[in-house]
C-alpha cells in the first residue's frame, strides 16, 4: 500500500472559470469596447468577441462603432440610391423638413412597422420592406437620440446590419443649407 506522501499530487485545471468564460462568450454578453493607447484605438477582447455574435449588444445601448453613418456616407448612399432611409421623427417634423428619399415611420410605431409582412409594409409605406440582412438600412431623427433608439429596436428585431445617422436632420440641414 502506497503512502499518500509518496504519490505526487494531482493537478486539475481550474475548470469553473474556463466554463464560466465560455458560457459568457456563448451567451453573447460582451459589449463592444476599445482601448486608446498613445492616440491609437485598439479593439479589446470584448470587441473581438463581438465578431462572433449575431445579437445586439447587451449593455443597454447599441454600439456606436460601425453603426453610425456620417454626413458624407449618407450623401454617397443617397446619390447611389443604395439606401433605405427611415425618418423616425413625428409626421409634423417630417413635413416641416426632411432628407430627400426618407420614409417617415415615427419611433412609436417603428417596432410594429418592422414586424409587418413585406406586402403590408409596402402597401403602408410605398417602399420595399427592409430585409433583416440588408446593410443599407439607416434611421435618422432630428439630432440622433431617437434614431439611436430606433437602431436598438431594429437590432432587437434581427436587423443586425442597420445603422443610424447620428447628426440627424439638424446636421443635414446645416450642411446642405436647407
Domain ranges of the chain: 15-50, 68-176
Q: Which of 6-10, 42-46, 70-74, 95-99 has the lowest mean pLDDT?
A: 42-46
Q: In the numeric block, which cell numbers belong to residue 91?
A: 409626421
Judge if pTM exceeds 0.85: no
d(CA 170, CA 140): 10
Confidence of residue 177 (pLDDT cuts 50, 70, 90): confident
Which residues are the active-site residues?
141
* 153 sits in which H/E element: helix 145-156
Q: Residue 170 to residues 1, 38, 62, 77, 176: CA-CA distances in angstroms?
A: 85, 34, 21, 18, 10
Choice between 131 and 17, residue whose per-residue pLDDT is larger:
131
d(CA 11, CA 90): 64
Choice between 55 and 91, residue whose per-residue pLDDT is larger:
91
CATH 3.30.379.10 fits domain 68-176: no
Choice between 111 and 45, residue whose per-residue pLDDT is larger:
111
Locus of grid cell 443617397: 78
Amino acid at each position: 500500500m502506497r503512502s499518500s506522501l509518496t504519490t505526487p499530487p494531482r493537478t486539475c485545471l481550474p475548470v469553473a472559470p474556463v466554463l464560466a468564460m465560455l458560457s459568457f462568450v456563448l451567451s453573447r454578453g460582451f459589449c463592444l469596447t476599445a482601448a486608446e493607447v498613445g492616440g491609437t484605438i485598439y479593439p479589446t477582447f470584448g470587441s473581438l468577441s463581438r465578431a462572433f455574435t449575431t445579437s445586439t449588444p447587451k449593455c443597454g445601448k447599441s454600439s456606436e462603432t460601425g453603426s453610425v453613418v456620417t454626413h458624407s456616407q449618407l450623401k454617397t448612399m443617397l446619390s447611389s440610391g443604395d439606401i433605405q432611409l427611415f425618418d423616425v421623427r413625428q409626421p409634423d417634423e417630417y413635413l416641416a423638413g426632411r432628407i430627400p428619399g426618407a420614409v417617415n415611420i415615427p419611433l412609436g410605431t417603428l417596432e410594429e412597422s418592422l414586424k409587418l409582412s413585406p406586402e403590408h409594409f409596402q402597401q403602408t409605406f410605398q417602399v420595399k420592406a427592409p430585409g433583416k440582412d440588408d446593410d443599407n438600412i439607416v434611421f435618422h431623427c432630428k439630432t440622433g437620440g431617437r434614431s439611436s433608439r430606433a437602431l436598438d429596436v431594429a437590432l432587437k428585431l434581427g436587423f443586425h446590419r442597420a445603422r443610424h445617422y447620428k447628426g440627424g436632420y439638424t446636421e443635414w440641414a446645416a450642411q446642405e443649407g436647407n
